[in-house]
Amino acid sequence: AAEESSKDPNSCIDSDPKCPQWASQGECQSNAVWMMANCRLSCHSCQGGDRAWKLRNYIASKYDNATNSNLSRIVRVESVRIDHIDMDEGRQIVRAYGRMVLSWNDSKVAWDRNQWELSWLNFYWIQIWTPQLVQLESTAVNPGTMVSKVLAANYTGQVYMWLDFSFTAPYSFQYEDYPNDYQRVCFKFDDKRYFTVRFVVADEVKSKQREELTETHSTGWTLENVEVNDSKYFVQVLGDWRRDPFDVQTSNCQLCMGLRRNAVYFTTEMLLPALTTSIITVSSVLFQLSITQPTLIAFSILAQMIALTLINGRLPTFAIHTPTI
């Protein structure tokens, strides 16, 4: 009965009871062709009904992914959202997690809206061209990832891709203004097929209209600014043949964040112990020639030692390691 229902193009069920488990493991993206046909409910591939499936098959039969493969494509960064930032000062590493929306035009995906009666269509397989993004200059232990979640196109051939990113990069923290220091961290990314993609940033992103920072979680830090900058080197290296072809810079686009330390907590943690011990020391003068005075002084010294230990634990750890020569 399940096999008969899966053959019905209008049904929206899973043909296998393990479909939810496979979908949770990412099979809808890695094995999209089979999963989208047999696990429609778990992979959310029921939109559009039979008409959408016929249109997908029609586009796939006409689409040639190798055509014009040598041409560079223009990919626009439409919006950016930062969800979480982890500042690891001990290891001098910064991690950023969020979502990004990219768009590009592909005339081979366009269709007649009046004929098919569809304005949007989701794609879940690799038969159409998509940018293959990688982070540059990431750490070797925990490299950055950029995973596509949703791929959709409208009838004009404009393709949109929603992807989740996890960036990790080494960063040398600057402590000149500690504890009110400001850190500017940049993550570079590009298509792994060098010079096949030229990134441009939408005006709405430059004007901060499509940047979501209100729900960003970062312990001890405040995210003040986010910038997405495209590289002008891509145009220069392709437009000037006299440039050294071996002097290649592949940083096509970068995401930069400005963060400021939450100094209120650190200032209170430093000043409060000093103020408390000072009051105890000064008040001991009132108990001259009394056994209370040495007790207060001893307690003040002990409190200062404990406070220094706590403050030392909160100070930056950039200089705690002695290099071995």
Interval 69-102: pLDDT, tens: 556 788 999 999 999 999 988 888 999 999 999 9
Given 3-state DSSP classes, what are the helix, strand and coil percentages for the chain, each rounded to the nearest 5? 30, 30, 40
Written out in words, the top-level CATH class of the domain with range 73-237+247-261 is mainly beta
More confident residue, 3 or 226: 226
Which of 280, 276, 305 has the alpha carbon at shortest distance from 294?
280
CA 97, 91, 184, 142 dihedral sign is negative
% of the chain with per-residue pLDDT over 90: 18
pLDDT at 297 (0 to 100):
84
% of the chain with per-residue pLDDT over 70: 78
Interval 127-143: pLDDT, tens: 688 888 888 888 777 78
Residue 320 has pLDDT above 80, yes or no: no
More confident residue, 104 or 30: 104
pLDDT band at 244 (very low <50, low <70, confident <90, very high): low
| Whole-prediction pTM | 0.72
Which of 48, 22, 293, 39 has the alpha carbon at shortest distance from 152?
48
**Cα-to-chain-centroid distance, residue 19:** 29
More confident residue, 250 or 88: 88
Instruction: Please give the mean pLDDT across all residues of the chain.
Output: 79
pLDDT at 182 (0 to 100):
92
Return the structure tokens found at 232. Answer: 């002008």
For 143, phi then psi, to 5°, come to -70, 155
More confident residue, 172 or 209: 172
Domain boundaries, the chain: 18-62, 73-237+247-261, 265-314
Residue 2 has pLDDT above 60, yes or no: no
Q: Residues with Cβ < 8 Å from 124, sequence gap 6 or more?
A: 28, 29, 32, 35, 36, 43, 45, 151
pLDDT band at 236 (very low <50, low <70, confident <90, very high): low
Residue 59 has pLDDT above 80, yes or no: yes
Residue 3 has pLDDT above 50, yes or no: no
More confident residue, 46 or 162: 162
Interval 97-109: pLDDT, tens: 999 999 999 988 9
- Pairwise CA distance, residues 291 & 288, whole Å: 8
Which of 94, 92, 96, 254 has the alpha carbon at shortest distance from 187?
254
With beta carbons less than 8 A apart as the criterion, state whether 249 and 233 touch: yes
pLDDT band at 7 (very low <50, low <70, confident <90, very high): very low
First to last CA, the chain: 73
pLDDT band at 287 (very low <50, low <70, confident <90, very high): confident
